[in-house]
Amino acid sequence: MNANEPKQNLLRQLPGVDRLFETVAASESCAHLPKSVLLKAIRTVLDSRRNAVLEASDAELPQIPTLDSLAAEVAEKASTIGAFNIKQVVNATGVVVHTNLGRSCLDTEAIAHITMVAEHYSNLEFDLSKGRRGSRYSAVEGLICEISGAEAATVVNNCAGAVLLCLDTLARNRSVILSRGEMVEIGGSFRIPDVMAKSGATLKEVGTTNRTHLADYENAISTDTGLLLKVHTSNFSIVGFTTSVSLSELVSLGRKFDLPVMEDLGSGSFVDFNRYGLYSEPTVQASVAAGVDVVSFSGDKLLGGPQAGLIVGKKTIIDAIKSNPLTRALRIDKLTLAALEATLSLYRDPEQAIRQIPTLRMITTGKQEVEGHARKLKSKLEALDKPGLSLTLVDLASKAGGGSLPLLEIPSCCIGVQMDDISANTIEKALRRHQPPVIGRIENDTFIIDPRTLTEGDDDIIVSAFAQLSAKNR
Ligand SMILES: *Cc1c(COP(=O)(O)O)cnc(C)c1O
């Protein structure tokens, strides 16, 4: 007898693709799915069953499930294959501008404006008063100038692109003077020296990591200098024996030598968080008022809008930037432009901006309010009556995130979750695999939920995730 015969017999019990397809396609849960998805799911399920048989030891040969249970397996597989890859998640981390989780959530007016532009034709590049081609940037330029106090403005698809474009326009084949204390790397492969190299500018580092003086810049100026650059050290802070040159000192130096001065603000806020009792981030308005020639900042960090790179400054410089062919390659799309316009228009009334823009609202929510939310959510979780589940309120800090306000610890009140027979790591994993996923953090072997970053409907999702949590998740 052939040694493989028992395995071959088992494999013969597996239905063929066609037979399984007929069964699955007739089922209610799969009737609406495309044939390609069903076939992919069928092949995956059959392959895995076949491999299970081939890899099993002769003593422990697996059973082949019935046709109906294979069909159910296929249906489940097909629903994951057919599902979108980008999905809603619950941000329970307390990191407001969480780059991995999509940075800023948009306000409802911005969402409505995106929908309008997506659904209909629009005057994106059409001047309705003149009846001819217009500029796509005109929708937001005026607003950006109005809010920031700048003479001129433009936008590209993100701040990294904005920096590249500014350097390429102002300093290609020339040198750019930058303090060694500001040679930053922003998470996810954006390093100032690398962007500089890509733009064709040469980096001229001055000073030291902790101390740079005005004379360091001045001594480095030569005939090939194209730009004086200041980069906001947005995701770290050097403390102790430090000196850096202020933006206005750098602006005076630029004037003296007739050199443009640029500041890459990165997080770029229009709101002074000092007024809300929080450690403050330099505002765009302050940089403009200091007389800097050009400033770049992100749309989806502290601005609370869509991914975009905003550039504001002197008209001659912005005009030069606009006529650089790179601008076309970095151009912002219409959906983003709509979201940006709607978000910016909220800043016309700063109080309204704080109330309505989710990122600003989350950062400025007081601890008491977060505590009220935490208590409510805690009692909903207690009502599940889950054996071994212990819930406590803990005073911890939230973070602004997104490489902004690095020192800011926003006082928060979180829910600490522990379970008798399930570790914090297992809780974290199970919630992350829930649909929709719930993302929290672990501190001292406790799973932490920070209500600061929860949005409408998230409480119910968290409660249902915990209701389904059991030791089998291990
Ligand atoms: C975040 C940041 C950038 C990059 O901005 P993106 O919008 O993510 O491209 C550039 N410079 C600084 C200082 C930053 O903080």
Give the pLDDT confidence of 107-123 residue by residue, as tens digits: 999 999 999 999 999 99
Binned at pLDDT 50, 70 and 90, residue 190 comes out as confident
Q: What is the mean pLDDT of the chain?
A: 92
Domain 106-356, CATH: 3.40.640.10
Indicate whether residue 309 lines ligand 1 (CB < 6 A).
yes
Write the CB contacts of 16 (distance below 8 Å, at least 6 apart in sequence). Answer: none
Answer for the pair 360, 374: CB distance below 8 angstroms, yes or no: no
Q: CA of 405: how far to CAs of 285, 419, 472, in Å?
A: 17, 34, 41
Whether the pLDDT of residue 1 is over 60: the answer is no
Round to whole Å and give the CA distance between 284 and 263.
10
Q: Which of 144-153, 354-363, 393-402 has the lowest mean pLDDT?
A: 393-402
Nearest ligand 1 atom to alpha carbon 234: 15
Nearest CA, atom 11, ligand 1: 266
pLDDT at 2 (0 to 100)? 63
- pTM recorded for the entire structure: 0.91
Nearest CA, atom 2, ligand 1: 266
Average pLDDT value for residue range 29-57: 93
Q: CA of 176: how far to CAs of 80, 310, 408, in Å?
A: 50, 21, 31
pLDDT at 73 (0 to 100)? 94
Residue 233: helix, strand or coil by DSSP?
Answer: coil
Pick from 301, 303, 336, 340 the residue to mutate for probing ligand 1's pocket: most ligand atoms within 8 Å of its CB. Answer: 301
Indicate whether residue 295 lines ligand 1 (CB < 6 A).
no
Structure tokens at 436: 């929709």
Going from N- to C-terminal start, the domains of the chain cover: 15-77, 90-99+364-473, 106-356
User: Which run of H or of E encompasses 231?
Assistant: strand 225-231
How far, in Å, from the CA of 365 to the mean position of ligand 1? 25
Report the 10 Å Cβ neighbour count for 376: 12
Indicate whether residue 264 lines ligand 1 (CB < 6 A).
yes
User: Which run of H or of E encompasses 446?
Assistant: strand 446-449
Structure tokens at 23: 């069964």
Whether the pLDDT of residue 474 is over 50: the answer is no
Answer for the pair 301, 97: CB distance below 8 angstroms, yes or no: yes
How far, in Å, from the CA of 276 to the mean position of ligand 1? 24
Indicate whether residue 336 lines ligand 1 (CB < 6 A).
no
In the CATH hierarchy, which fold is given to the domain comprising 90-99+364-473? Aspartate Aminotransferase, domain 1 (3.90.1150)
89, amino acid identity: V
Phi and psi, residue 221, nearest 5°? -70, 130
Nearest CA-CA partner of 47 in 19, 29, 74: 74
Round to whole Å and give the CA distance between 424 and 444.
9
Round to whole Å and give the CA distance between 433 and 10.
33
Nearest CA-CA partner of 467 in 392, 90, 459, 376: 459
- Go through 129-168 and write b for each residue having 16 or more CB atoms within 10 A of its CB, e for each that does not: eeeeebebbebbbebbbebbebebbbbbbbbbbbbbbbbb
How far, in Å, from the CA of 184 to the mean position of ligand 1? 10
Residue 129: helix, strand or coil by DSSP?
Answer: coil
Angle (deg, nearest 10), helices 367-382 and 458-468: 40
Structure tokens at 286: 């302050």
Whether the pLDDT of residue 39 is over 80: the answer is yes
pLDDT at 404 (0 to 100)? 61
- Go through 54-87 and write b for each residue having 16 or more CB atoms within 10 A of its CB, e for each that does not: eeeeeeeeeebeebeebbbbbbebbeebbeeeee
Whether the pLDDT of residue 414 is over 60: the answer is yes
Give the pLDDT confidence of 363-403 residue by residue, as tens digits: 999 999 999 999 999 999 999 999 999 999 999 999 988 76
pLDDT at 49 (0 to 100)? 95
Report the DSSP pairing between strands 441-443 and 446-449: antiparallel
Pick from 163, 165, 167, 186 the residue to mutate for probing ligand 1's pocket: most ligand atoms within 8 Å of its CB. Answer: 186
Percent of the chain predicted with pLDDT > 90: 78
Average pLDDT value for residue range 236-256: 86
Whether the pLDDT of residue 473 is over 60: the answer is no
Nearest ligand 1 atom to alpha carbon 161: 9
Whether the pLDDT of residue 104 is over 50: the answer is yes
pLDDT at 136 (0 to 100)? 92
Round to whole Å and give the CA distance between 341 and 301.
16
Sheet holding 225-231, edge to edge: 152-156, 309-313, 294-298, 261-266, 225-231, 175-179, 202-206
Percent of the chain predicted with pLDDT > 70: 96
Average pLDDT value for residue range 70-99: 93
pLDDT at 277 (0 to 100)? 75
How far, in Å, from the CA of 309 to the mean position of ligand 1? 8
Indicate whether residue 158 lines ligand 1 (CB < 6 A).
yes
Round to whole Å and give the CA distance between 264 and 185.
13
Whether the pLDDT of residue 243 is over 90: the answer is no
Round to whole Å and give the CA distance between 50 and 391.
45
